[in-house]
Amino acid sequence: MDKWTELTITTEYDKWIFLEKELYNHGFYSFELIDPRMDQIDNREGRWDFFDEDIFNDVYDGITVKLYSQEDFNEFEDLLQTIYEEDLGDANLTEIDDEDWKNNWKSFYSTMEIGNKFTIKPTWEEYSNVDNRHVIEIDPGMAFGTGGHETTKMCLEHLEKYLKPGDDVLDIGSGSGILAIASKFLGADVVIGTDLDEKAVEIAKENANLNNVEVEFIVSNLFSNVKNTADIIVSNIVAEVLVLLLEDIDKYLKPGGYFISSGIIEERAKLVEDALIKNNFEIIEKTIDNQWVSIVGRLKDA
Ligand SMILES: C[S@@+](CC[C@H](N)C(=O)[O-])C[C@H]1O[C@@H](n2cnc3c(N)ncnc32)[C@H](O)[C@@H]1O
């Protein structure tokens, strides 16, 4: 039976935003989050229904994060050092088997309705599609993007609003492939997803097959291996990386095309807004959800 190394980190509420930033800086985009305040933060029907209430019993009164590695604990070494040096919480490593790993995820993740058109569900759940939604099946794995994160949700909502059938789409930093797959469900023509992480690209390909959509996923550092142009570019990466991406975007985004961005924490939003304006965009929309920002820009025609 496969073994997993489970890293559990507990931290105080006011340190969470810094810890989350460090998780991303160290390349950990997929993790379980136990936040006892979660049901109070956002109780909108159909949005936060993926927590098993039992997990709130006897949990730490702060934030608990669980990460998994199928390699060994060395993968966590740099992250652990940062946590200790910056006093970001307490960490504990244990070994678990495959069955426990699956069951852990199952108590965290269930069907979510997002926006007016999408439902994201794990393969193991039944869903009665009474509203004729686009049902995307994604199981949690080692890639970010199961729909539960604010940034992914805002990108899905913006895709729903700005994507027209027949549009070509580039998803830069595709993770699980959720945004690229969603674009296909909305009627996009050519969709290409890119990720720096080979493992994420493999998982995204599997997810496209699972959902019977045709998307090309490639390993690429931002646009380094991209040859196509698109009507919509969507990217959910951190602000500093989005600023770099914007320097080259006019070679890949058609004039009048939309750039849907997220992954931006509130205090970095201005960085991205300034970069959009510098690179000939008009800012069309900015949404904020629980300190995370998503910005939509339109590339001016000339
Ligand atoms: C926050 S996740 C977003 C995943 C998914 N698109 C979503 O919205 O849920 C960011 C992804 O960007 C990838 N990434 C980070 N830097 C990148 C870069 N320079 N080029 C391509 N992908 C990158 C990470 O590996 C990760 O899978």
The predicted-structure confidence for 80-124, as pLDDT tens digits, reads as follows 989 988 899 999 888 888 778 777 777 767 899 999 999 999 888
pLDDT number for residue 77: 86
Centre of ligand 1 from the C-alpha of residue 200, in Å: 9
β-bridge partners, 265: 292
Q: Is the CB of 263 under 6 A from ligand 1?
A: yes
pLDDT number for residue 149: 84
pLDDT number for residue 73: 66
Centre of ligand 1 from the C-alpha of residue 27, in Å: 9
Centre of ligand 1 from the C-alpha of residue 131, in Å: 31
% residues pLDDT > 70 (the chain): 89
Q: Which domains does the chain have, with CATH numbers?
A: 3-108 (3.30.70.260), 150-299 (3.40.50.150)
Centre of ligand 1 from the C-alpha of residue 26, in Å: 12
Strands (E), the chain: 3-11, 32-34, 63-69, 90-97, 112-114, 118-121, 134-137, 169-172, 191-195, 216-219, 230-236, 253-265, 281-289, 292-299
pLDDT beyond 50 at 220 = yes
pLDDT number for residue 265: 87
Q: Is the CB of 179 under 6 A from ligand 1?
A: yes
Q: Is the CB of 233 under 6 A from ligand 1?
A: no
